[in-house]
Amino acid sequence: MSLLQEISKRKTFGIISHPDAGKTTLTEKLLLFGGAIQEAGAVKSNKIKKGATSDFMEIERQRGISVATSVLAFEYKGKKINILDTPGHKDFAEDTYRTLTAVDSVIVVIDVAKGVEEQTEKLVEVCRMRKIPMLVFINKLDREGKDAFDLLDEVEQKLGLKVVPLSLPIGMGSDFQGIYNIWEKNIQLFLEEKKQKVGETIVINDINDNSVDEIIGEKAAATLRDELELIESVYPEFDREQYLTGEQQPVFFGSALNNFGVRELLDAFVEIAPMPQPKESDLRLVKPEEKNFTGFVFKIHANMDPKHRDRLAFVKIVSGTFKRNENYLLVREGKKMKFSSPNAFFADKKEVVDESFPGDIVGLHDTGSFRIGDTLTAGEKLQFKGIPSFSPEHFRYINNDDPLKAKQLAKGIDQLMDEGVAQLFTLEMNGRKIIGTVGALQYEVIQYRLEHEYGAKCTYEPIGIHKACWIEADEKSDEFKEFARLKQRFMARDNHGQLVFLADSAFTIHMTQEKFPNVKLHFISEWN
């Protein structure tokens, strides 16, 4: 197969949702369609479960599952589909944001009863900013939930999307009869009393035909006709171009648990979802069909076994063919590397592969060279645009608790930061180190892993910081110099050497912006 054929076969996407909306269940049903797994229950939930186990054991368990479910690949209708796993727990939001830099589209899962929830809002915002094509799946239609039209409004308003319903539920909860598929123009009946819950699919050539009344009853048929009319007058027609540019989001209804409406979602997905896309670098736009390999690291997993300190770096291939045992350039370090056992991922296993193509993810074993966001190429010195960090929510000083292990501590912190577990800030004034995290849970993880993997001990000390603000300013200007002098106690460098102002309150940020209008503060490390 030619490179171009390999590329056009691939669809790499992520499923995002608030925890419990049904992401794991939907993933599993999609894998069942692809024949990638044989039975329900095969996909493990990577959710953080609170309860009997202590938090860090729970994190270890989660890390284990998370390696296994990082990439789930399967074939369907001649396409190779790669699902990239995105943790739903908010303390791992950074992981999810980073994974979203490696997908070409997403499916957003929403619970019909709960509607748009907090995590959905945050994740969709990131996708919107990046103009990632999104499909929406409204789940749990077998339960009582919100009215379909109210929900469509909610999705538009809270998520800032432009929705186009491509299916419509007929009834809901106990009255749920099935789904009218606007895309395929048919009705799929839901038969809950039968073990096989997917009922007949009936092709409807004319919605005004009497047969519709016979199938779903007069009342439901009348409602359906009214609603379809409403959809026609209120919502735009589906336009694939607009979907691909992130200007329009098709919506499907269904029930993942009952495997209802899932095939329709998948069929539409394979037809309309984008193939691997070009990616911007500091030098130029890199196109998938270019001969030379390029790719970037979006995730790093440390080995769970402390005796083997190797790590698995997840590389999304952007262009060309990645080959085993070929020399590639780690651009940041100017270092040549080759990989004798690159892993490819499948739903139920990973195995060594000789070649991979754009859209694919390869897992590369490494002992500490990689950092999240790194670019690998066949030799060209280009860098893909970095993966942004968001301002952490929590900040603490980190102190060495064992003077004999200072080196181990420094190394451990370095490697955990490369993995993206948290962010490190070093104060300009005195070199003290501050760890910033999205969730409080990460402090425990860091302490535990430093001790168990690096033999180092740390303690934390509180520090009153509200947000990390990345600074955009002319560092030679008098205004900046005055700002830096006044705020010298709060000036720090992040792990990439970028200048950061650690603001102690929202008020300080506000005042600073007023007083120093030419010193721009950003809550994200890449603002261009």
464 is in an annotated binding site: no
The first and second tokens of residue 466, run together, are 């509200």
Q: Is 197 in the site for ligand GDP (CB under 6 A)?
A: no
Q: Is 119 in the site for ligand GDP (CB under 6 A)?
A: no
Give the CA distances from residue 462 to residues 409, 453, 466, 468, in Å, rounded to whole numbers and listed in that order. 19, 25, 12, 15
360 is in an annotated binding site: no
273 is in an annotated binding site: no
Q: Name the DSSP class of 331.
A: T
Q: Is 224 exposed, middle or buried (0-12, 13-18, 19+ CB in 10 A)?
A: buried
Distance CA 97, CA 88 (A): 11
392 is in an annotated binding site: no
Q: How far apart are the first and last CA of the chain?
A: 38
Q: Which residues of 472-483 are buried (b: 16+ CB within 10 A; e: fewer)?
A: ebeeeeeebeeb
Which residue lies nearer to ligand GDP by CB, 265 or 302?
265
Give the dihedral of Cα atoms 8, 124, 263, 73; nearest 10 deg: 50
Q: Is 391 in the site for ligand GDP (CB under 6 A)?
A: no
Which residue of 105, 255, 377, 442 would you call a contact of ligand GDP, by CB under 6 A?
255
Number of other residues whose CB lies within 10 A of the CB of residue 514:
8
Query: Among the candidate windows 32-40, 139-147, 220-228, 423-431, which touches ligand GDP by CB under 6 A?
Result: 139-147
The residues facing 297 across adjacent strands are: 315
Distance CA 371, CA 205 (A): 55
Q: Is 344 in the site for ligand GDP (CB under 6 A)?
A: no
| Helices of type H across 395-491 | 406-419, 441-454, 478-486
Which residue lies nearer to ligand GDP by CB, 12 or 259?
259
Give residues 395-434 in contact with ligand GDP (rule: CB under 6 A): none
Which residue lies nearer to ligand GDP by CB, 18 or 279?
18
Query: Among the candidate windows 22-30, 296-304, 369-377, 482-490, which touches ligand GDP by CB under 6 A?
Result: 22-30
Beta carbon of residue 18, minimum distance to ligand GDP (angstroms, whole number):
7
Distance CA 439, CA 10 (A): 35
Which residue lies nearer to ligand GDP by CB, 44 or 323?
44
85 is in an annotated binding site: yes
Q: Is 29 in the site for ligand GDP (CB under 6 A)?
A: no
Q: Is 120 in the site for ligand GDP (CB under 6 A)?
A: no
Q: Is 91 in the site for ligand GDP (CB under 6 A)?
A: no
Q: Is 143 in the site for ligand GDP (CB under 6 A)?
A: yes
- Could you list the residues known to form a binding site, using ranges: 17-24, 85-89, 139-142
Residue ranges binding ligand GDP (CB under 6 A): 17, 19-25, 45, 47, 88, 139-140, 142-143, 255-258
